[in-house]
Structure 1
């Protein structure tokens, strides 16, 4: 059974959906506000700039995959760098991914408790979410990808609800000015770009794919679909609300959905947000999986099978208890760690390309 799983590879369709769910998160509900605050008029167009940057980053990762012949990033780094550098490096990366996954989950839990369960302490929902994460994580990457595919067919219909905004949509609210009305800052652009993060985890999927998986094509398609989804939602929001309104609404997409009336659902916005937990679950578990895979390499799983889970529980507890359980306190921490992840997304492929060049000079060929 174990040998069969080792031979199995992720199929292209599931890889594409998994990539999309890693990249697309709960940030979509506040993304129009972030664009209005940091980009200004017609801010939705800035998403295409961020998408292009992500595509370039993915191209860089594809070079690592191609020239490294799909070899694990752990084996690549070990081939050049000494252990006293490699081990601390990957422990730091594992910690970063564990914290990011937990922060994504906590951020969602704090939003949902503020909207729907105000009398319930966030710790209860947070523990339940993390329990689901560990249950799914224990089943492995193939079960995670299957779950992502099932979730895709459950949530895809949500986008159709934007049709109900057509009666109050006005192109005149877009104005003829582009990126005006705000002070542009590097911090603001980074905050927008962080909505596209997650694609860098494809670096850890190298051993689980083959030529039929078309890993990099799947992630490029996922990046395009994420861009289309973000742009569509934000375009509708910019035509539904004025720029001033967007800048003062905490979650503009939820406000937009609150105008939707269906005969069989009283509060569409609550329904859509609550079932978004499925998307958050996939995103959370993939960061946890990345951290787990890294720790398994640092400490061989055959001898320390429980260590990755202890490691993840430790950082999940740190995230909840060390960071105050309010949105105002949690979101800045999520932003800080997202900035660190942006650095990893670009620096790690560059490091791996340098390692590949060194190995090429040595005459080492990856077969």
Structure 2
């Protein structure tokens, strides 16, 4: 184990909460609505299928990295794909992380300006997310993992708050099960894997994990935590709103907390969304770090901060000179989702099969 690994070692608990923190993000606000649009109130079945598929793919990633526990992603890619093809794959990984980072950041700006700060300039709102991301990205894997643990305990009350509407829920809204058959459910299952994006961060975290033998168990637990959170939100939305109502609310999660009032506080959804910024940042920061770490690995640099400064400047420049519409942001997220199918779901399976065949062929030659 080299010095960089020792400096940034993380525990299994940090590994679990970091991956789960990347997954639980923007999808919490809109996913129940999107799921209902495709599969109706049977969407929770699609979510279970998507979670199961993600767990299987996650174990493929652990299997790949376990073959060379001390190697970074670039080392594994070049070992089996050759120098140039491996570097080309690394460039695709960096571009994927950048696309994810930009999609989430602009979605963050849109939500904050729509619900909380409608007259605040975009670049000012962007600084709320980018400056902490810059500071944490410079700190490395250990600091990011500690931040993920902090966010988990700081916001753990929020899922319990969303259980309050259950006293006015109606389980009959979920019936009959399989009302439209299996085809809409299977079609929605393809969409339901997208909220689990973030498990691919295991490619970056694995070399720093202390208990590498427990990595498989850790990534399964991380995905189960994410699945439970999304199932809870989906179940509450599907039973609180009627099937006709939920199709009208683009932000059903925020609509859930809107009726909550205290004698000393109104518009509780603004307070909820203010805390949600931490959850949002916990999704964005690892993608920002993965892009900069990928560049460092590509050029064989350690503690090289130039990519961090360059990406920070790029993000601010885009924010100042380009103001995407709602449709353009949706297109970015769609492209990120399509890229995620290939980079996060197809690639680990194909690469693991290739490594298995390559290893077998080399043994036969020997």
* TM-score with structure 1 setting the length: 0.89
Q: Does the 8 Å contact 1:34/1:192 carry over to 2?
A: no
Question: SS where residue 334 of structure 1 aligns?
Answer: helix
Q: CA RMSD in A?
A: 2.7
1:313 and 2:312 correspond: yes
What's 1:239 paired with?
239
Shift of 1:144: 0.8
Work out the CA distance in 2 between the residues paired with 1:57 and 1:99: 21
1:333 and 2:332 correspond: yes
Shift of 1:351: 4.6
What's 1:98 paired with?
98
Q: Does the 8 Å contact 2:12/2:211 carry over to 1?
A: no
Work out the CA distance in 2 between the residues paired with 1:179 and 1:226: 27
CA shift in 2, pair 1:65/1:305, >3 Å: closer
CA shift in 2, pair 1:29/1:82, >3 Å: same
Q: Does the 8 Å contact 1:26/1:276 carry over to 2?
A: no
What's 1:50 paired with?
50
Work out the CA distance in 2 between the residues paired with 1:81 and 1:140: 27
Shift of 1:234: 0.9
Higher alpha-carbon deviation: 163-172 or 102-111? 163-172
Q: Does the 8 Å contact 2:206/2:212 carry over to 1?
A: no
Question: SS where residue 41 of structure 1 aligns?
Answer: helix
Work out the CA distance in 2 between the residues paired with 1:259 and 1:282: 27
* Correspondence 1:244-283 to 2 at 5 A: 244-283=244-283
Cα-to-partner distance string for 1:233-274 (whole Å, 9 max, x where unaligned): 111111110111111111011111112223443222211112
CA shift in 2, pair 1:320/1:191, >3 Å: farther
Q: Does the 8 Å contact 2:113/2:120 carry over to 1?
A: yes
Question: SS where residue 300 of structure 1 aligns?
Answer: coil
CA shift in 2, pair 1:318/1:6, >3 Å: same
Structure 2: which 5+ residue stretches go unaligned?
Answer: none
What's 1:344 paired with?
343
Work out the CA distance in 2 between the residues paired with 1:122 and 1:112: 10
Work out the CA distance in 2 between the residues paired with 1:335 and 1:105: 15
Instruction: Tell me the matched-pair count.
Output: 362
What's 1:89 paired with?
89
What's 2:134 paired with?
134
Work out the CA distance in 2 between the residues paired with 1:15 and 1:156: 17
Question: SS where residue 118 of structure 1 aligns?
Answer: coil
Cα-to-partner distance string for 1:116-158 (whole Å, 9 max, x where unaligned): 1111122211133111111111111101111111111110001
Shift of 1:71: 3.3
Question: SS where residue 62 of structure 1 aligns?
Answer: helix
CA shift in 2, pair 1:310/1:150, >3 Å: closer
Q: Does the 8 Å contact 2:23/2:283 carry over to 1?
A: yes
What's 1:170 paired with?
170
Shift of 1:322: 7.7
Work out the CA distance in 2 between the residues paired with 1:141 and 1:199: 15
Q: Does the 8 Å contact 1:70/1:207 carry over to 2?
A: yes
Shift of 1:40: 1.0
Work out the CA distance in 1 between the residues paired with 2:214 and 2:9: 11
* Correspondence 1:294-305 to 2 at 5 A: 294-301=294-301, 305=304
Shift of 1:165: 0.8
